[in-house]
């Protein structure tokens, strides 16, 4: 590979003359924007331990009333991007949100897509587009782009969930904004009930549902038993994983990020090939050692980590006597739409 000319090789007054009219030469930056053979990610393999997050989040509950926060969230920021960028990866934002009994996080809607993975506590709910979605550990609740959503809490314990948004991408696109709204009346017609059975959808009277997002809540009970059944049926299968999809179309549940649940058999080691998208791993039940390139993280329940793209990941179930369940989020739908999705073995 030949060395290209540097900016210092050019006469300073020539560079200045160009800059005055908003021009810059490409060649000093060409290898930076098109590095050889694979990208140079800013995203760093990073782990966030729930044991670190929880006390700081509960402290936020004491320090900042919900009215002063709207969303009481500690952001899981990737140091590779700089903490102030509030991003876990190029397209993923992660936040741990706390709602205390009786609190209400008011209705709004925004352009970024979000999901919530419930970490602990009972009695809270999110109302999405008028649909009340109860929150229980392991449930996945979608709040897709443009839909009104608000969080309420009728229970007695602190409730914590993990927010995953495509905010960094939508913000980079200069397309991020929100609108505040009124408390939503609750409507009947719950997607999590209508679509509760896999392979079964409500019979349309004239035509199939035209709702862009017919299912907004994916109960953990259903996902967990689907994984157990799949593992039982397919003893030959290494990667026991389900994808959260739109039950009417079979497409990814949201447009930009992909969401999955994975089961590691007792003692299992699972090698995932290097793929172009970044990926987030969050332990719902059990514990896993996650090896990302040369780094290893020991994840126990409610811990979260992320891997940069183009990096192989190995997951190992730390329990020899029980399965481990992992929630995953990645940028695959985006990469596929952009035509840049790659798997490298
Ligand atoms: O709960 O609506 O973590 O709007 C960031 C932005 C959560 C939410 C976040 C949000 C929300």
For ligand 1, say whether the CB of 142 is within 6 Å of any of its atoms: no
C-alpha–C-alpha distance, residues 138 and 160, integer Å: 11
In this prediction, residues 204-225 reach a mean pLDDT of 92
pLDDT tens, position by position, 145-163: 999 999 999 999 999 999 9
Ligand 1 atom showing the smallest separation from residue 93 Cα: 3
C-alpha–C-alpha distance, residues 25 and 6, integer Å: 10
Alpha helices in 129-204 (DSSP H): 167-172, 191-194
For ligand 1, say whether the CB of 71 is within 6 Å of any of its atoms: yes
For ligand 1, say whether the CB of 190 is within 6 Å of any of its atoms: no
User: What's residue 1's pLDDT?
Assistant: 55
Q: How confident is the model at residue 326 (pLDDT cuts 50, 70, 90)?
A: very high
In this prediction, residues 94-116 reach a mean pLDDT of 98
Compute, in angstroms, the gap from residue 166 CA to the centroid of ligand 1: 11
Q: How many CB atoms lie within 10 A of CB 126?
A: 25
In this prediction, residues 42-49 reach a mean pLDDT of 98
C-alpha–C-alpha distance, residues 110 and 115, integer Å: 13
User: What's residue 207's pLDDT?
Assistant: 80
pLDDT(322) > 90: yes
User: What's residue 42's pLDDT?
Assistant: 98
In this prediction, residues 219-248 reach a mean pLDDT of 97
Please tell me whether residue 88 adopts helix, strand or coil conformation. coil
For ligand 1, say whether the CB of 95 is within 6 Å of any of its atoms: yes
251 vs 199: which has the higher pLDDT: 251
User: Are the CB atoms for 88 and 76 separated by under 8 Å?
Assistant: yes
For ligand 1, say whether the CB of 113 is within 6 Å of any of its atoms: no
Q: How far is residue 49 CA from its own chain's centroid?
A: 16
In this prediction, residues 87-109 reach a mean pLDDT of 98
Sign, Cα dihedral of 20, 22, 26, 32 = positive
Please, what is the average pLDDT of the chain? 97
CA angle 194, 162, 174 (to 5 degrees): 95
Domains of the chain plus CATH, in order, are 46-344 (2.60.120.10)
In this prediction, residues 44-71 reach a mean pLDDT of 98
Percent of the chain predicted with pLDDT > 70: 100
In this prediction, residues 240-263 reach a mean pLDDT of 97
In this prediction, residues 61-87 reach a mean pLDDT of 98
Residues 6+ apart with CB under 8 A from 117: 138, 139, 140, 161, 162, 164, 282, 284, 327
Taking alpha carbons only, the member of 274, 246, 268 closest to residue 259 is: 246
């Amino acid at each position: 590979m030949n060395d290209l000319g540097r900016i210092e090789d050019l006469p300073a007054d020539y560079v200045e003359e160009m800059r005055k009219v908003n021009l810059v030469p490409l060649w000093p930056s060409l290898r930076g924007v098109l590095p050889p053979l694979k990208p140079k990610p800013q995203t760093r393999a990073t782990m966030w331990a729930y044991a670190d997050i929880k006390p700081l989040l509960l402290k936020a509950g004491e320090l900042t009333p919900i009215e002063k926060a709207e969303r009481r969230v500690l952001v899981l920021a990737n140091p590779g991007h700089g903490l102030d960028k509030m991003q876990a990866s190029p397209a993923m934002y992660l936040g741990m949100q706390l709602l205390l009994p009786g609190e209400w996080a008011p209705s709004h809607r925004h352009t970024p897509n979000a999901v919530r993975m419930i970490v602990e506590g009972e009695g809270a709910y999110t109302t999405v587009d008028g649909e009340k979605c109860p929150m229980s550990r392991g449930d996945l609740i979608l709040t897709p782009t443009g839909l009104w959503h608000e969080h309420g809490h009728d229970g007695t314990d602190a409730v914590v969930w993990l927010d995953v948004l495509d905010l960094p991408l939508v913000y980079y696109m200069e397309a991020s904004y929100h609108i505040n709204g009124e408390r939503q009346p609750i409507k009947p017609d719950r997607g999590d009930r209508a679509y509760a059975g896999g392979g079964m959808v409500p019979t349309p009277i004239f035509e199939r549902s035209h709702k862009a997002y017919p299912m907004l809540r994916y109960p953990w009970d259903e996902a967990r038993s689907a994984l157990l059944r799949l593992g039982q049926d397919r003893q030959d299968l290494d990667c026991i994983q389900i994808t959260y999809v739109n039950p009417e179309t079979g497409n990814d549940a949201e447009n930009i990020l992909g969401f999955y649940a994975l089961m590691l058999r007792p003692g299992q080691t699972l090698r995932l090939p290097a793929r172009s998208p970044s990926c987030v791993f969050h332990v719902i039940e059990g514990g896993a050692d996650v090896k990302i390139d040369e780094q290893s993280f020991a994840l126990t329940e409610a811990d979260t980590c992320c891997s940069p793209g183009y990096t192989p990941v190995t997951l190992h179930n730390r329990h020899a006597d029980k399965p481990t369940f992992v929630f995953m989020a990645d940028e695959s739908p985006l990469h596929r739409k952009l035509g840049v999705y790659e798997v490298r073995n």
